[in-house]
């Protein structure tokens, strides 16, 4: 991160981490490591982020979601990086990110690699992505549309899941199946705070309508 000019490190449930080995490995990046912000959940860590990008060695992903190249992600950063907070999410060395965590990301990126050995070591994966970002040049200064924040989107998805269950659209035994598809296409939509507000408004109205119908009143 330090070599490539990235600064803000967030760690989720790192356990006992700032120990002797960590200090030794950090070398000249010690200040960056020391200033890492610690969170107990991914949700918490993503608070305030606008664009969330998950990393995966595409190996076990089904072709359902478009997987970007590091260069495409660097372009995305050039577009949004100046006016928005963009988070790159990496998984733990042993297990990687879970399907649920990847579904929470709006975009996915995979570093092209040997199909028989697609999984890079975590630090190397960070380096490759950070290199692409650095070498794509400075971020554009004129921002695009304002993007909703991660928590605005998450509140909307939680409303959506509740209402779509209530009106019988989602299968109560497996609501996340369709919710993941909805997340996928809305993830591509660059939702603004106003878009999110409209979608939440629709959900509120649907909820009201359903309760009026259930009460036998003509809505």
Give counts: helices (H), strands (E), the chain.
Answer: 9, 6
Chosen residue from 105, 125, 133, 147 binding ligand SAH by CB under 6 A: 125
Residue 65 in the binding site for ligand SAH (CB under 6 A): no
Farthest CA pair distance, the chain: 70
Chosen residue from 86, 87, 96, 183 binding ligand SAH by CB under 6 A: 96
Which residue, 61 or 78, has its beta carbon nearer to ligand SAH? 61
Question: Does residue 73 contact residue 136 with C-beta atoms inside 8 Å?
Answer: no
Chosen residue from 1, 30, 36, 120 binding ligand SAH by CB under 6 A: 120
Residue 101 in the binding site for ligand SAH (CB under 6 A): no
Q: How far is the CB of 171 from ligand SAH (least distance, A)?
A: 28
Part of the chain binding ligand SAH (CB under 6 A), chosen from 14-22, 50-58, 71-79, 138-146: 50-58
Cβ neighbours of residue 165 under 8 Å, at least 6 residues apart?
Answer: 172, 175
How long a stretch of residues is the chain?
219
Give the footprint of ligand SAH on this chain (CB under 6 A).
55-57, 90-91, 93-97, 110-111, 113, 118-120, 122, 125
């Amino acid at each position: 991160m330090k070599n490539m000019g990235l600064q803000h490190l967030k760690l989720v449930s790192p356990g006992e981490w700032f120990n002797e080995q960590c200090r030794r490995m950090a070398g000249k990046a010690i200040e960056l490591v020391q200033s890492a912000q610690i969170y107990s959940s991914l949700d918490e860590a993503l608070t305030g982020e606008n664009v969330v990008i998950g990393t995966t060695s595409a190996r076990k992903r089904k072709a359902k979601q478009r997987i970007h190249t590091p260069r495409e992600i660097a372009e995305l950063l050039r577009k949004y990086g100046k006016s928005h907070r963009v988070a790159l999410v990496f998984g733990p060395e042993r297990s990687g990110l879970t399907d649920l965590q990847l579904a929470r990301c709006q975009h996915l990126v995979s570093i092209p690699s040997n199909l028989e050995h697609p999984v890079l070591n975590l630090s190397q994966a960070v380096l490759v992505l950070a290199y692409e970002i650095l070498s794509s040049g400075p971020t554009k200064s004129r921002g695009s549309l304002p993007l909703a924040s991660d928590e605005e989107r998450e509140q909307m998805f939680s409303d959506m899941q509740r209402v779509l269950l209530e009106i019988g659209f989602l299968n109560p035994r497996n609501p996340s199946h369709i919710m993941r598809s909805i997340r996928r296409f809305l993830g591509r939509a660059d939702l603004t705070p106003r878009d999110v507000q409209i979608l939440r408004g629709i959900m509120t109205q649907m909820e009201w309508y359903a309760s009026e119908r259930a009460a036998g009143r003509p809505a």
